[in-house]
Structure 1
Amino acid sequence: MFSIFIATFLPDIVFAESSEITKPVTRSYNIPAGSLENALSQFSSQSGVKIFFDDAVIQGKTTQGLAGNYEISAALDQLLKSTDLQPVSHPEGFTIIKLSTESALSPVVTTLPSIKITASSETSRYMAASSSTATKTNTLLRDVPQAISVVTESAIKDQSIRSIADAVRYVPGVGVSQGEGNRDAVIFRGNRSTGDFFVDGIRDDVQYLRDLYNIERIEVLKGPNGMIFGRGGSGGVINRVTKQAGWEPIREFFFQGGSYGLKRMTADFNQPINDQIAFRVNGLFEEAGSFRNGVDSDRLGISPTVTVKPTNRTKVVLNMERYHDDRTADRGIPSFQGRPFDVKHSQFFGDPRRSNSIVDVLSFNSLIEHKFDFGLTVNNRTNYAQFDKFYGNVFANSPVLGSVVSLGAYSDGTDRENVFNQTNFLYSLETGPVAHTLLAGIEVGQQITDNLRRQGLFNNDPRQTSLRVPVINPITNAPIDFVNRNIDANNHSKINITAFYFQDQIEFIPQLQAIVGVRYDLFETDFRDRNGNQDHLKTKDGLLAPRFGLIYKPITPISIYANFSQAYVPRAGEQLTALTVTTETLKPEKFTNLEAGIKWDIRPDLSLTAAAYRIDRTNVITVDPNDASRSFLTKGQRTEGVEVGLNGQLTPHWNVMGGYAYQDGEITSQQFGAPKGNTVAELPRNTFSLWSRYDFIPQFGAAVGVIYRSSMFASTDNTVVIPDFTRVDAALFAQFNKHVRAQLNIENVFDVNYFASVQNNNNIMPGSPIAVRAALIANF
């Protein structure tokens, strides 16, 4: 509890705590007339200030609404106009007090409830209002000139999302690649990536399968993002926002069980220690089988976080994670005569007992942020991580030939150590009528990677790198020796990164804004092949990644934008395993993006977006159509498309998320295995997805999800077609009381046969038959 002296006012109060306000900040608001309670909630989302209030004081009060650009205090004044409430600023934020109808000649001591509040950027279950990822400043999504999809914490819970692949199912323009059963692989607008993953804006590019037990929300930024993220960020990036310790107690325990032996438990515990320190820990345990014969997985994770606020201008966040994933590396089924082989979807090809993927991750992270009284904000993020990964696989490496199929085998081990440090300086100023939000930053980092690949040799024969088996029994028990040959990877690489970037968010007038930025990365590679196939290679690339975006707002809730951006992907890490490394192959890929779109916040809790784009890609790494362990360079490809997204609340009881994407990708130059004019691999022409939840009563709700994907080619040679499919999911929700709720998720309700993802012509992953998962969630 704490006290404050307030003269001439009665003790009926509303309390609101915001982040420290060091200078007037103008934001755009669109809050309709109606309930004051709803209006304050919308104000919280649109301003980034979360408001707690006394229900008895607010009950029955209305507001005339708010539309336009206001400073925070002026916006509150406008919202409370014609009421008997008034905001009063104090060092911690705002106190909104009820005016006395009496003449008070002496001050009254008012004791306020001791409530700690954090900002929230979600305006409904499935809609986020703002993000700090795309610009490194807290910006409304409609004021960012690129397509962004946010998978909120509510969506993660409602859809029972456990992986990156699950998370992007309802994100237009993004698909899932197989990743050889051992890593996250995402198709961003026709561009496959296994490295464009970030945590709180820091690179997390080791190839493994991530869990979301400690994640608050997932942000999918589409198009080249080199200016913000540096190397990579080619067709898009995925940024995971972690759960931070705060001052609202949390005790949540999640228990789930379901089809194919799924057992999953998570815990989320948050406890304020005092007014300056809060502690949070998230934990995970999971065991799961599969509809695929011999395939299973185990996961363990723990992630403690401490937040310290020594002053109201300074925040320190310390976090670590220990994560372990052990699973069968499953590469699916082969093709036959240009289609997936007609076989039971449960049939494994190879040997599941000798196909294992194990990864251990240990990471430490820190954030230090300070707001100076003259308007400058400085923040620093540091990440140190160790990754130890090994996988071996025995798999189909040819199409079915008559009554036989060929199997191959290899193992791969990677040890990596990452260190990144990123410092940002943010400052707002006005030059006459023009307002600027300036960002300047520096990032330094180092990645040290050791990689060893061993070829599988069958039957103790050094010449037998493949083995033919009958398709009626495609499991082999033949002895396999894993040997590092002279032509296999045995690499050591050190990557040093130094980057400088500058950005200006300009508001010429409230209707016209621009974002102009540029980043320079000095990317130094020191590569050594321990097998002695190549000389010791060193390269130094200076990568310049610009971005220019223009935003026109005919009315406040509508933004029309155009954007130009570039990004580079220099060779690093696992890319060097599959290539024959030379000075030529070390040259970076280049991505150039043109995008135009419109964002319309129909209401503060409902958003409609549309975008049209073209991405040109040069010096491309292309996976061999018939051997996923080998890659080659090609000159270029072009992807064009249109996507539409809808997120938010149609009615107070009806929430939706999803969208439609039309995509067309073409190989623009003759290359090995892919003639000019061929279609880009893993790129369906049409995709549609929509998740819809309706709450019939506060205690009971239901949801239905529909996913459609048109046919696509498995690889750039366009010889194998993956059929189209439509899948329906469903869920039921029951709130027994304020502490306990239950959830039932059903995947593939109508048990359709389909193929979820591919890696190449001979590694095609069947989709799961109908699967049921039941969960019980307890909060205390």
Structure 2
Amino acid sequence: MKYQATLSMTALALLIGQAWAAEPAAAPAAAASAPAAAASAAEISLPLVRAKGRRENASGPIEGFVARRAGSGMKGDIALIETPQAITVVTADQIEAQGATALRQVTRYMAGASSATLDSRADRISARGGSVDQYLDGMLRSHGFANNTRPDPYTLERVELVRGPASVLYGQASLNGLLNLVSKRPQFETQREVQVQLGSFKRRQLATDLTGPLGEQWAYRLVALKRDSGTQVNHVKDDRLLLAPSLTWQPGADTSLTLQALHQRDRSGSLIGFFPWQGTRLPNGSFGRIPTSTFISEPGWDAYNTDQDSIGYLFSHRFAEHLTLRQNLRHSQSSGDYRTLYTSFSATGRPVFNADGRSLERDLVWQRNDSRMTQLDTQLEGQLRSGGWQHQLLLGLDVQRNVGRDRNLFERSTAIDAYAPVYGNFKPPAAPTEVSRTEQRQLGLYLQDHIKLGSRWVAVLGLRHDRARSDTSDDPDAKVDDKALSKRAGLLYQSGLGVSSYLAYTESFKPVGGVDFYKKPYKPQVGEQWELGLKWQPQHKRLSASATIYDLRDTNRLTPDPAQPNNSLQIGEVRIRGLELESAGSLAGAGLGLWDWTLAYAYTDAKISRSNRSDQGQAVAGVPRHSASAWLTHHFSLAGHEGFSAGAGVRRVSGAWAGSTRISTPAATLFDAMLAYERGDWRLALNANNLADEVQISNCLSRGDCMYGDRRSVNASLGYRF
């Protein structure tokens, strides 16, 4: 595989040199005068075209791996080269080529983004030293923990990672960034697909994606999926039923209304056993490593079952040439039933083996949760010209209400042999009945101006005021009533040849909740970031590259009060500095066929810069300092037959501090691969993830446990487009 990676990088360098000197294969004028070799390369790319002759927009289909526009960073359809913020876009073509079957696999080739832990409960994505919030079509995707329904990549048109704080547009949010999932929407061009997938762990999946016009003013889309599957952990399934219908009404060029609905039913179990350091990261005498397939809960009782239903709309109306109203609404209801037994923390304070060196004490948890979430985001966008200045003004008001009800049960249970489990030695408890109710409300008013000064300069100014309230029925001290003012500013210069450079400042806030020992409410946690970036995206060529450095601070973190053991002070601070490099391309080079690629590298220095504890100056636990990835796909002909493609990828993550001098998360190098053949309306593909079957320890924690990552999986898919 090292030899293959070297060949791939050499071919990539040669391709860029030839493609940059040549005319773009996708341009009609160039195609008419290009030599026969270039014309042949263009023909190879034709089966991959998703939207022929259509101007790219921030929510529609994209051919290849390179997006030129995004909607998440500015809440508007803005060119990435004119956006003073680092944003990474993964297209549906890239998702398909890399065979991503979960959201954590969609983001694995983004610079600095990580989600290696195998977990049925959520696909948690981290970037710039911490977790990022997940949005769907610009609105918060889920609320709560044990009722979280994981998104399916087959329903998505693209995924956009906005790096760093984004509270000016989205309100209370993580300072590390947000991940916006853009759903597939109805198209006025008929496109239909049926797909069958078979793979590792008895995976069987049937999916369909149907879209097209219904007369002149209406278009429909139906995405549906049914899956029955096991997992790499014994007795844990990964079953899913999903229906996502949508309908667009477009009576004219000025008005569009898209109605969306989702019904998703997931049936799974516990993939994480919270195994001790010994037997995972460290030796365990003569017993060796705990097998990655080990299940230490109870078959037939263990479950992680979630249901989600949502309905909403995306509305847009242009009143005049330069004045547009947009309103997005979504109401969702979800429920979760989480039952598990895992390595005990209560018995000894941390997961450890018993004296026999092979049995583990277990804790039992049963959570039954449900939530309702209603969101409304109304935006008024106006475009003004004054002299050589062009303003794209955005005035918005968003409202959010989340209500959750939780039923929890926790108790000690029986021990189990981790190396040869024998099940049935426990008594199932009665279901939890006591209800805890949490209600959260947020109201935000925001104003943003995207200003073009002549043909070279772009400035962005933003301001937002939020009020966030939260109340928990059984914990009066958890009540939150916060107000926050968030700001952003950016200045960008376009120097020609598709190059822009920028400097940007952004802020975030996140309510903490509760009161201190003296009954004084805690202030929101506040983040701020300075970012300096360089982007390259030449016109008429599907090429992009970016380099970003940033300095991010997270303040008002709770830290112990040395004068009062029962109190916490808000003087804690984390500082994160880093470098991110990315490149993507989809090009046809003369004599080289068609190539798609992504390259990424991230350096992250995350430290606790202020604390009352001994951890001041230490690294933030679980954040790898270095990560890098590369993916290359080649479309080619074989024995005179066109439509073949082969791809290979490599991912490298350095080791990470685990919060203890006794343990660390080890480095890992993983390989992925793809083979595909397209002929007419048919596509046959074979995707392998973690090709070398590396046993990855994805995360170790100072509390005493480690988690495994994905083992090798191979999936074959057959699709028919008609």
Alignment TM class, shorter chain as reference: 0.7 to 0.9
Give the secondary-structure state (helix, strand or coil) at the position aligned to 2:188. coil
Distance change >3 Å, CA 700–CA 581, structure 1 → 2: farther
Match of 1:752 among 687, 694, 702: 694
Amino acid at match of 1:408: D
Give the secondary-structure state (helix, strand or coil) at the position aligned to 1:217. strand
Q: How far does residue 205 in structure 1 lie from its aligned partner after superposition? A: 2.7
Structure 1 match to 2:43 = none
1: distance between equivalents of 2:579 and 2:569? 29
Q: How far does residue 350 in structure 1 lie from its aligned partner after superposition? A: 3.7
702-711 or 583-592: which moved more?
Answer: 583-592
2: distance between equivalents of 1:40 and 1:422? 40
Give the secondary-structure state (helix, strand or coil) at the position aligned to 2:27. helix
Distance change >3 Å, CA 127–CA 582, structure 1 → 2: farther
2: distance between equivalents of 1:149 and 1:685? 20
505-514 or 347-356: which moved more?
Answer: 347-356
Amino acid at match of 2:296: F
Higher relative CO (CA 8 A, sep ≥ 6), structure 1 or 2? 2
Could you give the per-residue CA deviations for residues 464-515 of structure 1, whole angstroms, max 9, x where no partner exists?
Answer: xxx5544444566432565899xx9952122221111001111223222111
Structure 2 match to 1:400 = 352
What's the TM-score, normalizing by structure 2?
0.84
405-414 or 305-314: which moved more?
Answer: 405-414
Structure 2 match to 1:501 = 446
Give the secondary-structure state (helix, strand or coil) at the position aligned to 2:105. helix
Q: Decide whether the 8 Å contact of 2:65 with 2:585 is kept in 1.
A: yes
645-654 or 282-291: which moved more?
Answer: 645-654
Amino acid at match of 2:622: E
2: distance between equivalents of 1:581 and 1:367? 46
Could you give the per-residue CA deviations for residues 92-133 of structure 1, whole angstroms, max 9, x where no partner exists?
Answer: xxxxxxxxxxxxxxxxxxxxxxx9967456765111000111
Amino acid at match of 1:375: H
2: distance between equivalents of 1:585 and 1:218? 37
Q: Decide whether the 8 Å contact of 1:434 with 1:506 is kept in 2.
A: yes
Is 1:724 the counterpart of 2:671? The answer is: no
Q: Decide whether the 8 Å contact of 1:177 with 1:187 is kept in 2.
A: no
When the two chains are superposed, the root-mean-square deviation of aligned CA atoms in Å is: 3.1
**Equivalences for residues 289-368 of structure 1 within 5 A:** 289-336=230-277, 339=281, 342-368=289-315
Q: Decide whether the 8 Å contact of 1:116 with 1:248 is kept in 2.
A: no
Structure 2 match to 1:522 = 467
Q: How far does residue 407 in structure 1 lie from its aligned partner after superposition? A: 2.1
Give the secondary-structure state (helix, strand or coil) at the position aligned to 2:320. coil
Match of 1:661 among 578, 602, 611: 602
Q: Decide whether the 8 Å contact of 1:539 with 1:583 is kept in 2.
A: no
Give the secondary-structure state (helix, strand or coil) at the position aligned to 2:81. helix
Structure 2 match to 1:555 = 496
Is 1:692 the counterpart of 2:632? The answer is: yes
Amino acid at match of 1:431: S
Q: How far does residue 639 in structure 1 lie from its aligned partner after superposition? A: 1.6
Q: Decide whether the 8 Å contact of 1:149 with 1:220 is kept in 2.
A: yes
Number of residues paired by the alignment?
650
Q: Decide whether the 8 Å contact of 2:314 with 2:329 is kept in 1.
A: yes
Distance change >3 Å, CA 518–CA 423, structure 1 → 2: same
2: distance between equivalents of 1:663 and 1:227? 24
Is 1:707 the counterpart of 2:651? The answer is: yes
Match of 1:451 among 388, 406, 420: 406
Match of 2:524 among 588, 591, 594: 588
**Equivalences for residues 91-110 of structure 1 within 5 A:** none
546-555 or 650-659: which moved more?
Answer: 650-659
**Equivalences for residues 151-550 of structure 1 within 5 A:** 151-176=90-115, 178=117, 181-193=120-132, 196-206=133-143, 207=145, 208=148, 209-336=150-277, 339=281, 342-396=289-343, 397=345, 398-401=350-353, 403=357, 404-458=359-413, 467-473=414-420, 477-480=424-427, 482=429, 490-529=435-474, 534-535=475-476, 538-550=479-491
Q: Decide whether the 8 Å contact of 1:329 with 1:352 is kept in 2.
A: no
Give the secondary-structure state (helix, strand or coil) at the position aligned to 1:753. coil
225-234 or 747-756: which moved more?
Answer: 747-756
Distance change >3 Å, CA 773–CA 580, structure 1 → 2: farther
Q: How far does residue 526 in structure 1 lie from its aligned partner after superposition? A: 2.5
Q: Decide whether the 8 Å contact of 2:299 with 2:423 is kept in 1.
A: no
Give the secondary-structure state (helix, strand or coil) at the position aligned to 1:564. strand
Distance change >3 Å, CA 192–CA 584, structure 1 → 2: farther
2: distance between equivalents of 1:278 and 1:494? 37
Give the secondary-structure state (helix, strand or coil) at the position aligned to 1:339. coil
167-176 or 285-294: which moved more?
Answer: 285-294
Could you give the per-residue CA deviations for residues 411-441 of structure 1, whole angstroms, max 9, x where no partner exists?
Answer: 2222111111111111111222211111111
Give the secondary-structure state (helix, strand or coil) at the position aligned to 2:201. helix
Q: Decide whether the 8 Å contact of 1:363 with 1:385 is kept in 2.
A: yes
Structure 2 match to 1:39 = 27
Q: How far does residue 173 in structure 1 lie from its aligned partner after superposition? A: 1.3
Q: Decide whether the 8 Å contact of 2:362 with 2:412 is kept in 1.
A: no
Structure 2 match to 1:743 = 685
Q: How far does residue 408 in structure 1 lie from its aligned partner after superposition? A: 1.7
Could you give the per-residue CA deviations for residues 312-346 of structure 1, whole angstroms, max 9, x where no partner exists?
Answer: 21111001000111101221452335935622222
Give the secondary-structure state (helix, strand or coil) at the position aligned to 1:706. strand
Larger Rg: 1
2: distance between equivalents of 1:218 and 1:581? 43
Structure 1 match to 2:81 = 142
Which stretches in structure 1 are left out of the alignment for 5+ residues?
1-30, 42-57, 63-114, 459-466, 623-630
Q: Decide whether the 8 Å contact of 1:151 with 1:218 is kept in 2.
A: yes
Could you give the per-residue CA deviations for residues 25-68 of structure 1, whole angstroms, max 9, x where no partner exists?
Answer: xxxxxx99976983369xxxxxxxxxxxxxxxx97268xxxxxx
The percentage of aligned residue pairs carrying the same residue is 25
Structure 1 match to 2:49 = none
Amino acid at match of 2:139: I
Q: How far does residue 588 in structure 1 lie from its aligned partner after superposition? A: 2.6
Distance change >3 Å, CA 686–CA 538, structure 1 → 2: closer
Match of 2:546 among 609, 616, 638: 609
Amino acid at match of 1:594: W
Q: How far does residue 677 in structure 1 lie from its aligned partner after superposition? A: 2.1
Structure 1 match to 2:47 = none
Distance change >3 Å, CA 34–CA 282, structure 1 → 2: same
Give the secondary-structure state (helix, strand or coil) at the position aligned to 1:176. coil
Distance change >3 Å, CA 178–CA 618, structure 1 → 2: farther
